Copies of this chain bind each other. A is one copy, B any other.
Amino acid sequence: MDDKEAVLNRLKRIEGQVRGLHRMVDEERYCPDILVQISSVQEALRAVGRKLMHNHLRHCATTAIRSEDSHAAEAMYEELLELIYKHAR
């Protein structure tokens, strides 16, 4: 995978953010402030997912194009879109 180290570092940071959330709830901080923090963790996770998707897209595209079978290529595009639409939400 490209940028494996960068992805691992991001996940370490996300783990720290989740611990921060735990502390905020424990200290009974103001709800909207905690919600902002939750959204920030979710954006960070989305960015990690997108990074992984980039690698997967390159891999699938290469396989689809190299396949002689155009039906197989179409099926692969469809599967890839299924995956992205599910996880990009």
| Interface residues of A, Cβ cutoff 8 Å to B | 1, 4, 7-8, 11-12, 14-15, 18-19, 21-22, 25-26, 28, 31-32, 34-36, 38-39, 41-42, 45-46, 48-50, 52-62, 64-66, 73-74, 77-78, 80-81, 83-89
Contacts and interface: CB of A to CB of B under 8 A. Distances in A.
A1 B46 CA distance: 29
A32 B83 contact: yes
13 contacts: A1-B25, A4-B26, A8-B26, A15-B22, A32-B83, A35-B49, A35-B83, A39-B49, A54-B81, A61-B64, A62-B65, A84-B84, A85-B88
B57 A81 contact: yes
Q: How many copies does the complex hold?
A: 4
Given A48-B38, A65-B61, A22 B31 contact: no
